[in-house]
Structure 1
Amino acid sequence: MAPLPGAEREAKAIGNLLNTKPLIGNEATKAAVLQRLPRARFIHLATNGIFDDVQGINSSIASRA
């Protein structure tokens, strides 16, 4: 999956707003996210998604296998 246009800029802007270092690119591993979760007050994901406007329950965040 190709990088989401603007996602890095978005993550950096949110990081500046919340005074935290965002996880970007290869830094954004499952292990790194799970390590930060217990201390997180907010979680912001800049990601691709799959939207089902008929049955919203079928919507999801896209990920690489």
Structure 2
Amino acid sequence: WNKVEKILKERSLTIYKLSKMTGISDNTLRNYRSKHSKPSFTNACKIADALNINLDDLRERSNFND
């Protein structure tokens, strides 16, 4: 979610506006922000599309060497 928040801040967008752009409820987006839940693949795609970014930009890469 940190990546999404950074983009929202850079573009002067709010969670409310992202909610309207994606059709995902404001409450659901706030749950993602507070890490109470993770977005489904479908919602991750909606967020990436709304922000006009690549879905991979939202991924956190795992380090398999740990």
After TM superposition, the score normalised by the length of structure 1 is: 0.34
The structure with more helix, counted as a fraction of residues: 2
Q: Between Structure 1 and Structure 2, whose CA radius of gyration is higher?
A: 1
